[in-house]
Amino acid sequence: MASSAATKDEKAPAAADQKPEIVTDQKPAAALEEDDEFEDFPVDGTLPTLYTTRPEGDASPQHPTPIPQQSAALLTSDDNLDWAAEDTEAATESQGTQHLWEESWDDDDTSDDFSTQLREELKKVEASKKR
Amino acid sequence: MSLVVEFLSGIRRFVLAQNGEELRKWLLVENEVPEHYFRLKAELKSSFPDNGSDALEKLVDRCLPEEDDVADGKGSPWPGFNALMKVYLEYWRDVDFNNLINLHASLSDLLISCANALANPTYGAMLLQTSMSFSESLSKLVMGLTRKPELIAQIQGGMAGDESGERKSIVELAADVIQKIFTSCLTDRSSNRWSPPKGKKVAVYLFANLTLKLLFACDKSRLAVQMFTNLSTSGPALSLYPASQRVTFLYYLGRFNFDYGHYLRAHLCFEAAYRQCPPRFQKHRRQILTFWIPSNLLLGRFPSLNLLQRPEAAGFHDIFFPICAAVRAGNFVAFSQALAHSKEWLWNRGLYLTLLYRLKPLVWRSFSRKVFLLTWQGENPDGTQSKKMAALSIDHLVTAATYVQKLLEGYVPLKPAPRARPPHINTIFMKAVTNSVSDAESDSLLAPPPGGPRALMPSEGLIFGNKRPDHDNIESILAGLIYGGVLNGFIARQLGLFAVEGARKAGGNPVLAGWPNAYQSIRERFNEEYEEAAAAYNSGESADPPGEVDDVPGWVQKMG
């Protein structure tokens, strides 16, 4: 009993090790990843692979794709998903954040085409009213 | 010894050792598992068929007896855990990975059972990892199913409604169970709101984020309201959690506020998420920017070139720059072209209609400003400063708006653009050309296009489809802009004017006075609203204190 339990014990992590390969195979076809999901942050340098789906038109049974269950692992390896504040924008605030947004963008130029057309139209309509 | 007994003995060892990680590794639910899970399945099928017998339950209780004397740091099976194990073994006995409908039902049952076991205040915490992995599997399945309407219909058709006869969607049901786990974590008493999380509290934001991911993937973000309310009331401070959880949570909280039109709150969340997300996570930063930039547009701020040149913003210049240029110029034609240019990208992210409708007031602001610049004569003919009150004629604005509406309808210039006209053209000839169009349109520089004006969708017109802007339309638009704080002045109805206020205060500059900085006036409007709420609270009119002006409900920042 003890020996077979130990075998099982060894097998489970081994199976987990193989999983990323399976996922890698499918990755190029997973168009869903194109920009539109906020992915889980990677752990230990592995790519985030949760919720990858099979490509459209794949006729094979649509059961969930095997994936490493990363978030669950995160519970015991918190260090991996935290990072030092020095890495972030917050630490280098003086260098750039104030240049991220333009607040004063009003345009006083009235020589562009659109302004010229408007001016002519206003003139014309005014003139026709006086007629 | 049978495989089932062997399996349960292994589980017992981990329970006694409170080893949550090993429990997760053993309690697998997806189909890519070592072969012995399928042997376990075969054994369960033959020894414990689904025939109403309680043999399996008895076996579980025999293999997982409750311990009498539990040493410190050790664990013991508890009734909820044994119930979970029975459901787990039944899951493997009955599961058919090719039948998504049954898989969904059994996985849901399993997660509910797990949530119940997790609720145990003494030992529940050892099931956190397992709850997480079950929740992820169910979310993944549900997200896949939402793309298969024919299967959804079958699942929903087989479900009984609740007492009110109302049926919840499968997304709602899955989110409900995950939220139950979230609540278990939230109410864990091992640590308080303001100290480093212990026990189940460590997983509060992991489950919050998982729920949010599911809800957003299925376009059900409104269902997150209850969770944010619970967090506001009793949630632990977000700053006590790892950076990746903070960034993910703030991203979704920003999306939520964006979806519900609170762009200042959305901006605050995205700003904090972006600034805490290091540049090496380019995809995450890009995803945040995708919504952070629109939030700022709607607050009257444009992304700087500095921002648009960052690697995570690749391609965003082409999308957002034309929109900003059109808002800046007050050019409705360019505005609709800029949105049309990126329609698919914007639409897929739920941004198109929001920008189309919510940015329009800023285009109107620039447009009215432009017409004022073109028509206001601040100087007397002798060059001295006019003493007249600075004002914009509503009629002028109607004329200009009508011109723009005609452009939107596809009208074409009657004659070459004015600047291109050579000076020697015979004015009599010009007159003849002008007179050749119908009388109704002869007062304009534009003529209807061959084949007649384009029929506009309601959203494509300046007011509503092909409705020509009239005095009342323009007056109400101005009133809206004044109320929103982006125009400073009042409507003198008798005179048909928008009268600018505070020109003297603005150094005699009526443009600056009447059209104050858009971003600052929008922020000022938020402050006013906040002060109104605070005043209502102080005078006893309102029971709820308004919090701080930059509070975002659901974002637990400081001691309340």
Contact B331, A110 (CB under 8 A): no
What pLDDT is attached to residue A92?
58
CA B506 to CA B512: how far, in whole Å?
6
User: Is residue B65 domain-resident?
Assistant: yes
CA B469 to CA B466: how far, in whole Å?
9
Shortest CA gap A16–chain B (Å): 9
pLDDT tens column, A51-108: 223 333 333 333 333 333 444 444 444 434 678 776 676 655 544 455 899 999 999 9
What pLDDT is attached to residue B231?
96
Q: Where is pLDDT greater, at B206 or A131? A: B206
User: How many residues does the structure list for chain B?
Assistant: 560
Chain-chain contact of A11 with B36 (C-beta, under 8 angstroms): yes
Which residue type occupies B51?
A: N
CA A80 to CA A74: how far, in whole Å?
7
Contact B117, B180 (CB under 8 A): no
Location of structure tokens 């003849």: B432
What pLDDT is attached to residue A23?
34
Chain-chain contact of A100 with B303 (C-beta, under 8 angstroms): yes
CA B173 to CA B384: how far, in whole Å?
73
Location of structure tokens 């001691």: B559
Provide the token pair at B142.
């549900």
What pLDDT is attached to residue B124?
95
CA A119 to CA B396: how far, in whole Å?
10
pTM of the model: 0.84
Contact B419, A116 (CB under 8 A): yes
CA B153 to CA B272: how far, in whole Å?
40
Provide the token pair at B332.
């409705």
Contact B202, B236 (CB under 8 A): no
Residue B89, classified by CB atoms within 10 Å of its CB into exposed (0-12), middle (13-18) or buried (19+), is buried
User: Is residue B500 domain-resident?
Assistant: yes
Q: Where is pLDDT greater, at A77 or A24? A: A77
CA A70 to CA A64: how far, in whole Å?
15
User: Is residue B21 domain-resident?
Assistant: yes
Chain B (187-216) residues lying within 8 Å, Cβ to Cβ, of chain A? 202-203, 206, 210, 213
User: Is residue B409 domain-resident?
Assistant: yes
Provide the token pair at A12.
């489970």
CA B429 to CA B418: how far, in whole Å?
15
User: Is residue B325 domain-resident?
Assistant: no
Contact B197, A78 (CB under 8 A): no
A110 → closest Cβ in B210, B324, B373:
B373
Which residue type occupies A94?
A: S
The DSSP secondary-structure symbol of B414 reads S
- For A39, residues 6+ apart whose C-beta sits below 8 A from its C-beta are A33, A48, A50, B283, B284, B287
- For B132, residues 6+ apart whose C-beta sits below 8 A from its C-beta are A69, A71, A72, A75, B24, B203, B206, B207, B210
- Mean pLDDT over all residues of chain A? 56
Contact B89, B4 (CB under 8 A): yes
Contact B200, B185 (CB under 8 A): yes
Pairing of strands B302-303, B497-500: unpaired
Contact B330, A130 (CB under 8 A): no
B140 → closest Cβ in A5, A64, A122:
A64
Pick the residue from chain A with its C-alpha nearest to B308: A100
Instruction: Report which of B392, B408, B490, B488 is spatially closest to residue B449, judged by C-alpha positions.
Output: B408
Instruction: Give φ, ψ of B190 to 5 degrees.
Output: -65, -25
Taking CB atoms and an 8 Å cutoff, what residues of chain A touch B374? 110, 115, 118-119, 122
CA B425 to CA B429: how far, in whole Å?
8
Chain B (458-487) residues lying within 8 Å, Cβ to Cβ, of chain A? none
What pLDDT is attached to residue B507?
85
The DSSP secondary-structure symbol of A15 reads H
Contact B330, B369 (CB under 8 A): yes
**Residues with pLDDT less than 50, chain B:** 420-423, 428-441
B277 touches chain A (CB under 8 A): yes
Q: What total number of domains does chain B contain?
A: 2
Query: In Å, how far from its chain's centre is CA A54?
Result: 19
Instruction: Report which of B300, B307, B220, B318 is spatially closest to residue B263, judged by C-alpha positions.
Output: B300
Neighbours of B161 (CB within 10 A): 10
B28 touches chain A (CB under 8 A): yes
Which letter, b or e, does each residue of B366-381 get, where b requires 16 or more Cβ atoms within 10 Å of its Cβ? bbbbbbbbbbbeeeee
Pick the residue from chain A with its C-alpha nearest to B324: A105
CA B109 to CA B128: how far, in whole Å?
17
User: Is residue B34 domain-resident?
Assistant: yes
B400 → closest Cβ in A12, A74, A118:
A118
Chain-chain contact of A88 with B275 (C-beta, under 8 angstroms): yes
Contact B544, B503 (CB under 8 A): no
Contact B115, B131 (CB under 8 A): yes
Location of structure tokens 């959203």: B459
Chain-chain contact of A101 with B302 (C-beta, under 8 angstroms): yes
Taking CB atoms and an 8 Å cutoff, what residues of chain A touch B130? 72
B325 touches chain A (CB under 8 A): no
Shortest CA gap A3–chain B (Å): 11
Beta bridge partners of B385: B379
- For B139, residues 6+ apart whose C-beta sits below 8 A from its C-beta are A51, B174, B178, B210, B213, B214
Q: Element (H or E) spanning B149, and its range?
A: helix B149-158
CA A14 to CA A3: how far, in whole Å?
17
User: Is residue B484 domain-resident?
Assistant: yes
Taking CB atoms and an 8 Å cutoff, what residues of chain B touch A88? 243, 275-278
Contact A27, A55 (CB under 8 A): no
Domain boundary among B236, B259, B286: B236
Shortest CA gap A73–chain B (Å): 7
Domain boundary among B478, B496, B516: B516
User: Is residue B549 domain-resident?
Assistant: no
Q: Which domain holds residue B214?
A: 3-236
Domain boundary among B221, B236, B251: B236
